Amino acid sequence: MTPPWSLPLNVPPEVLQELSKNLAPNGIADYAALTVFSAAAATFLSRGYLWDKPDPLHHLWFERPQLKNGGAIGSATKETRNIAKKLDESNKDLVVFWGSQSGTAEGFANRLAREISLRFGLSAMTADLSDYDPETISEIPESKLAGFLLSTYGEGDPSDNTAEFWDWISKTKDKEKLLSSLRYFAFGLGNRNYKYYNRVVDVAVEALDKLGANAIMPTGKADDAEGATQEDFMAWKEQLFAVFKGLGLQEHEVQYVPTLSVQEDESLEPIDLHNGEPDGSSLKAQCSPIRPLSISASRELFNSSDRHCLHIDLDLTTQPEFTYKTGDHLAIWPGNPDAEVERLLQSLGLTSRRDIPISIKSTDSATKVKIPSPTTVATLFRYYLEICGPVNRDNVLGLAQFAPTPDAKAYLQQLGQDKTSYAIFINKNHVNLGRLLQGASPEKWNIPLSYLVETLPSMQPRYYSISSSSVITPRKASITVSVSTAPVPENGGELIHGVTSNYLLAVSENLRSSPHPEGLTYHLNGPSDFLQGGKVLTHLRKSKFKLPALSKLPLIMVAAGTGLAPFRAFIAERRQLQQIGKETGELLLIFGCRRQDEDFIYRDELQEMQNALGDKLRVVTAFSREGKKQYVQDKVSEVSDDVFRLIEEGANFYICGRAEMAREVEKAVAEVMTVKGHDDVNEWRTRMKRRNKWQEDVW
């Protein structure tokens, strides 16, 4: 039969009528075929509308992180990635590069560049190492100076934004004269409790010197083991300034000159304002976007009236792009407590102006505005600045110029000038900005908002190890939160409240219609009230702290306190694999806390998993304030035969907790291996870490 679409246009009507009779559906089979054909056609035509929709975030896989602030390849307004060209275009004499994981090195870089400009008249700028192509450092002329402030974290790792620079110096270290025109100085941030103390700055300086760069002074180093980072930085900074004077630079009296303009603008409407939503442009590739998540459940883990530890479940079902793997981290973006926000507003005389719109703009093309603008002062203090942290001595001295009375000025100058006196004062008082101003003078302080934006750290997220398994609960992520509330030493009446942990405690208690135990209140509805109903702002971060691909490999896990969190997930995942018939290796968990009946978190769950796993799981406990005082490193030595046997059988070794604990555990394991006959323990340990069989998640 000739198909109807090939018939000529002048077909007689009677032929068409007969044809339509023959083509009409006749019987169940015809109707069924027609139904299938119609469904297939509808499915095909709805592609891209009802199904197989293009991922709106697909383009992010191809974006360079440095272009996340609005730049675009080929755009006329794109910032240059050539640092030498940037220095020339902005007429700068000096650049301070920073590599920072938590924001401390970035804050130091900003302070240093600002003070160099004020004290010596040099035009200085700061630079995120990820914003510039590292090879262009070789183009910086000898007439200019470069500083490198580099932090070390984890196992001697560089910060995320240092990765490109790190790769470059590793690959080009044999080109001896490449940086012969570069004059530089360097300062490292680290913690002596970590095995690779300040490794990043050491490696960077060695590479710079091999490339022909000229250091104008010895490398400075901060040690946070005893909380001395601020004082170490200040001491090194004074040495740097002495070198500057030796180079013939003239020192001037320091007077505040703003690099930012903060102005009220009542013409702005509420819809124009940023109400506290975090700026996620600085998040790196291993992080998800920032999104609100609902707390689906929260429970107390401690059996104590004055100490709190929370298990919090977060519902991921509303955020399809949120996918995690066992061992990843979840970040919480907190808000500051109402009392501290109100205290600071009152000290500055801004209580009545709290909701007036303000615009924050840079007065220097080389200075980036890190605070979303426009906004309000109340939002600035609640969400965008860290107002609860202690004030360093540098800032105490800087605030003296804005004192409302001669007595207040003298008080701050005396407090800030003497290192010993300030240390004694800090030991007796928790001095954040609001408390310091109130204590120095009850009168109104005329401190420019630009000064506070420039000197106070930006609010940072706090990261928690996810304590659930993505295999078991892929759309629910759990975190374990130790709530930090402690009295200041030598002053039992005043409490220091951890910012994020107490914020989470307030959210959790509010879900139960209960107040915060210490009476703290927060704006729990969040920016623009979109956190109503127990939501928090979060993002996910990929981690290298992972289970081995082979489930039959044994695991040794050492944890103290909330360091147990990721191991709860590890053990649960191994139990799940065993239940579906997979071969699983032996698990040895060494866990420490204060007291068995008070803060042994997840004890019942661990018992259930022991029952399910049988002889596959052994739990060894250490209690530091019950019976014979013991720590996890003591238990490592106590069960040395099992530790050695499992390592010889190919076990992965994991440590999670504080850095000083990890250091002691590593010493204990090294002693075990030495006693058991390993001649070169360092080589063994290096080999283990290179193969990812020794992993640490420490803070």
Write the pLDDT tens digit of every residue in 650-676: 999 999 999 889 999 999 999 999 998
Q: What is the pLDDT of residue 75?
A: 35
Distance CA 497, CA 308 (A): 12
Alpha helices in 544-658 (DSSP H): 565-579, 596-599, 603-613, 632-638, 640-648
Distance CA 98, CA 370 (A): 15
Distance CA 520, CA 484 (A): 13
Q: What residues does 19 pair with on adjacent strands?
A: none
Q: What is the pLDDT of residue 70?
A: 35
Output the pTM of the full model: 0.84
Q: What is the pLDDT of residue 255?
A: 84
CA atoms within 13 A on the CB side of 628: 6
Rounding to the nearest 10 degrees, give the CA dihedral for residues 208, 209, 213, 216: 110
**Helix 433-440 to helix 406-417 angle, to the nearest 10 degrees?**
130
pLDDT of 20 over the 60 cut: no
Strand segments, DSSP code E, in 34-93 are none
| Residue partners of 606: CB distance under 8 A and separation at least 6 | 568, 571, 589, 619
Distance CA 542, CA 329 (A): 6
Task: Compute the C-alpha angle 101/105/108, nearest 5°.
Answer: 155
CA atoms within 13 A on the CB side of 679: 0
Distance CA 691, CA 546 (A): 12
Query: Which candidate, 349, 424, 348, places its Cα nearest to that of 387?
Result: 348
Query: Which candidate, 457, 109, 101, 392, places its Cα nearest to that of 230?
Result: 392
Q: What is the pLDDT of residue 15?
A: 45
Q: What is the pLDDT of residue 281?
A: 81
Q: Which CATH topology does 284-333+461-543 take?
A: Elongation Factor Tu (Ef-tu); domain 3 (2.40.30)
Q: Which CATH topology does 555-698 take?
A: Rossmann fold (3.40.50)
What the block records as the tokens of 453 is 């934006």
Residue 663's SS3 state is helix
Distance CA 111, CA 451 (A): 11
Question: Strands 375-376, 357-362: parallel, antiparallel or unpaired by DSSP?
Answer: antiparallel
With a pLDDT cut of 70, the percent of the chain lying above it is: 87
Q: What is the pLDDT of residue 21?
A: 54
- Residue with the bigger pLDDT between 8 and 366: it is 366
What the block records as the tokens of 295 is 């707390």
Please determine whether the domains at 284-333+461-543 and 335-458 fall in the same fold group of CATH. no
Distance CA 659, CA 664 (A): 9
With a pLDDT cut of 90, the percent of the chain lying above it is: 72
Question: What would be the CATH architecture of the domain defined by 335-458?
Answer: Up-down Bundle (1.20)
Note the pLDDT tens digit of each residue in 431-482. Answer: 899 999 999 999 999 999 999 999 999 999 999 999 999 999 999 999 999 9
Note the pLDDT tens digit of each residue in 277-299. Answer: 998 887 888 899 999 999 999 99
Q: How many other β-carbons are positioned within 10 Å of the β-carbon of residue 249? A: 16
Phi, psi of 324 (to 5 degrees): -125, 165
Q: Which CATH topology does 83-246 take?
A: Rossmann fold (3.40.50)
Distance CA 122, CA 112 (A): 12
Q: Rounded to whole angstroms, what are the CA distances from 579 to 573, 588, 681? A: 10, 19, 37
Q: pLDDT grade, residue 575 (50/70/90)?
A: very high
Stretch 263-287: mean pLDDT: 91
Note the pLDDT tens digit of each residue in 475-533. Answer: 999 999 999 876 655 555 567 899 999 999 999 999 999 999 999 999 999 999 999 99
Distance CA 153, CA 698 (A): 9
Please state, rounded to an integer, the average pLDDT across all residues of the chain: 88
Q: What residues does 184 pair with on adjacent strands?
A: 146, 215
Burial 348-384 (b: 16+ CB within 10 A, else e): bebeeebeebbbbeeeeebbbbbbbbbbbbbbbbbbb
Q: What is the pLDDT of residue 488?
A: 56
Q: What is the pLDDT of residue 326?
A: 98
Q: What is the pLDDT of residue 267?
A: 95
Q: Are 388 and 462 in contact (CB under 8 A)?
A: no
Q: What residues does 491 pair with on adjacent strands?
A: 488
| Residue partners of 523: CB distance under 8 A and separation at least 6 | 335, 338, 382
pLDDT of 4 over the 80 cut: no
Q: Are 527 and 275 in contact (CB under 8 A)?
A: yes
Q: What is the pLDDT of residue 27?
A: 63
Residue 210's SS3 state is helix
Q: pLDDT grade, residue 177 (50/70/90)?
A: confident
Q: Are 345 and 529 in contact (CB under 8 A)?
A: no
Stretch 194-221: mean pLDDT: 93
Query: Which candidate, 449, 48, 71, 511, places its Cα nearest to that of 263?
Result: 449
Q: Are 613 and 575 in contact (CB under 8 A)?
A: yes
| Residues recorded for the chain | 699
Q: How do the domains of the chain map onto residue ranges?
A: 83-246, 284-333+461-543, 335-458, 555-698
Residue type, 374: P
Q: pLDDT grade, residue 19 (50/70/90)?
A: very low
Which bin fits 325, alpha (ψ -120 to 50), beta or left (φ > 0)?
A: beta
